[in-house]
Amino acid sequence: MVALALGTYRIGMLATYLPTLLTLTLMPPVGDVFVDASAGACGSANGTPTQPYCSISDALAAAVPGDRVLIRPGVYRENLMLPSELELIGLQGDAVTIIDGGGVGTTVTIPLGITVTLDGLHIRGGRGSLAGGVYSEGNLTLRNCTVSGNECTGVYGAGGGGVSLVFASAVIDGCVIEGNVGAAGGYGASAIYSYLYGSGVPPTTITGSTISGNTAPGPTGGALFFFNGPLVLRDSTVSGNRGAGVRLATYGSSSSVFEAIIEGSTIVENDATGTTYGLVAGGISRFGLSPTMKIQNTIVAGNIGNGVAPDVNGRFFSRGGNVIGNRDGAVGLTGTTGDQTGTTSAPLSAGLEPLARNGGRTATHRPSGGSVAVDGGVDVPGLTFDQRGVPHPTGARDSGAHERGVGSDLMVCVPSPNSTGGPTLLEASANLDPAQNSMFLTMLDVPRDSFGFCVTSSSVGSPVQPPMSQGFLCLTGAVGRLTGPGQVTSSGAAGRIRVPLDLTQHPTAMGPVTVMSGETWYFQGWHRDLVTGVATSNFSAAVSVTFQ
């Protein structure tokens, strides 16, 4: 049999093989291998879109380094060993693309030196001695995934219920790691465990992610446990875990190169009372030799420790903009660096709302209207968005992972669900002084790859449903369209549309105007949608903004 890849061939080329050609099998192009759990003809599968493999394991056996394994929705009850450099992509995301380890081993294993991307997958049901969900000695990128319901059973307690990184690092972006269980003894982690010794390995970087509801029953455990492993935690939420939220440990000469950086994150409501090895803070805690800990624009409050330090202990290098509920037990968080801090005798409440879906794919704690986190941060070049992708306003950013925004929701304008099953949300972020001309609108939870823009008016009225639309327009009067340069964009894979505003050329039906102090303007988003194959449109929630 001669197998040819799909493509264009000259007749002269084929003529060379025709005398001996008994069967001509068209193989998928190098790069894409399809998987579909509901496919019927598994015996004749070849990885093409019309003849996909029925299991991910079969696809891995056929794939070559550099391929993408494209996985259609379904529940795949497998324990995977990644053989080479591959991307595993859930075509419709982690809500419907599930890899279940079945409680009989680690769900996904990445050997030494292998570079792997896992994207849009839900990894669950793993139960192993070194890791439950993912064990990696390679180079892992975990993007837009959920890792939940996994358990590490190690006798010595080293390993992670969700993810274990051994002599390796990872990039974790836009992920939910929840409901995992660490080992009962030793130095285990419920969510992410990292072990390194020596230098030369880049830091594990966690961005835009939520780590919540994990349990570390061991005497030294935490949701994140980094043993000699450098860490960057940015624009993320660590909340409601049993055990320290972030646990750092060093040993030997590696302490000189171990650095932890935490920026724009929220670490709250973690409970370390069951941790018995040394003084453990529920928020950020360390033991052993001290790593370099740099912290900025981060909330650490409302945690419970096993001693006098509920939120933090150890030495910190503050870059300002932090909210620390109780600084007792820490050095370097005195409030003289632009931080807001409390003590045991006078604890500081961060004033946060419960963990909830506030737009975007991961849950956050929204600051209440009177929260000390509002406008409590400092500007950082290059770090301009919160965990959800909402821009921070220049000169008025909040502390923590959630930028509250300046708009007030209009309760008379309740959005209709779009094709994702939920409503489209709208956030306004701005410096309220219109002279600063610094304002963005962000539509969240928009259907993927849908074009949209925003509308604005100085008045609002009863909702009206335009023809051919699923949603309702609440703005009235001289409604203007924000359709200038950079204002009509696609939601892309993130389901998010950002609209920059020019307050000196604010559109109305009568022509552009300049926004002035004391004025109130109303905003609403519009986007295309596709419902049961029919093209339509929808509107976001509406917000009002009063400029000062």
Distance CA 21, CA 26 (A): 13
- Contacts for 290-293: CB closer than 8 Å, 24+ residues apart: 290/250, 290/255, 290/314, 290/315, 291/248, 291/250, 291/255, 291/258, 291/259, 291/260, 292/258, 292/259, 292/260, 292/317, 293/248, 293/259, 293/260, 293/262, 293/317
The DSSP secondary structure of 234-284, one letter per residue, reads ES-EEES-BSEEEEEEE-GGGGGG-EEEEES-EEES-B-TT--SS---SSE
Residue 492 in any domain: the answer is: yes
Contact at 8 Å (CB) between 209 and 182?
Answer: no
- Contacts for 333-338: CB closer than 8 Å, 24+ residues apart: 333/295, 338/378
The two three-digit tokens of residue 489, written as one number: 């964009």
User: CA nearest 526: which of 478, 456, 462?
Assistant: 456
Residue 188 in any domain: the answer is: no
How high is the pLDDT of residue 306? 85
Residue 415 in any domain: the answer is: yes
How high is the pLDDT of residue 277? 67
How high is the pLDDT of residue 198? 61
Number of domains in the chain: 2
Residue 446 in any domain: the answer is: yes
Residue 300 in any domain: the answer is: no
Give the H/E segment covering residue 15: helix 11-17
Q: CA dist 149 to 145, 171, 179, 192, Å?
A: 13, 21, 5, 13
Full-model pTM: 0.87
Strand partners, 496: 444
How high is the pLDDT of residue 7? 41
8-state DSSP, 304 = B
Distance CA 349, CA 426 (A): 27
Rounded to 10 degrees, the C-alpha dihedral 41/46/49/54 comes to 50
Residue 422 in any domain: the answer is: yes
Farthest-apart Cα atoms in the chain, separation: 91
Contact at 8 Å (CB) between 39 and 70?
Answer: no
Distance CA 32, CA 477 (A): 52
Burial class (CB in 10 A: 0-12, 13-18, 19+), 289: middle
Residue 499 in any domain: the answer is: yes
Contact at 8 Å (CB) between 500 and 440?
Answer: yes
Contact at 8 Å (CB) between 328 and 334?
Answer: no
Strand partners, 428: 441
The two three-digit tokens of residue 503, written as one number: 């307050």
Q: Please name the residue ranges forming H helices in 31-122.
A: 56-62
pLDDT along the chain (548 residues), means of 10: 39 35 44 92 89 96 96 97 95 94 96 95 96 96 97 80 94 97 80 80 93 84 85 96 87 62 97 76 77 89 88 90 93 81 95 93 93 93 89 88 82 83 88 86 93 94 91 93 93 91 93 94 94 91 90
Distance CA 538, CA 373 (A): 33
Tokens 């990872």 correspond to 170
How high is the pLDDT of residue 288? 61
Distance CA 270, CA 281 (A): 9
Distance CA 393, CA 467 (A): 36
Provide the residue range defining the domain that includes 6: 1-30
Q: CA dist 164 to 1, 108, 158, 331, Å?
A: 44, 11, 9, 30
Residue 270 CB-half CA count within 13 A? 40
Give the H/E segment covering residue 472: none
Burial class (CB in 10 A: 0-12, 13-18, 19+), 215: buried
Residue 476's domain is classified under what CATH number?
Answer: 2.60.40.2060
The two three-digit tokens of residue 99, written as one number: 């890899």
User: CA nearest 146: which of 168, 118, 181, 167?
Assistant: 118
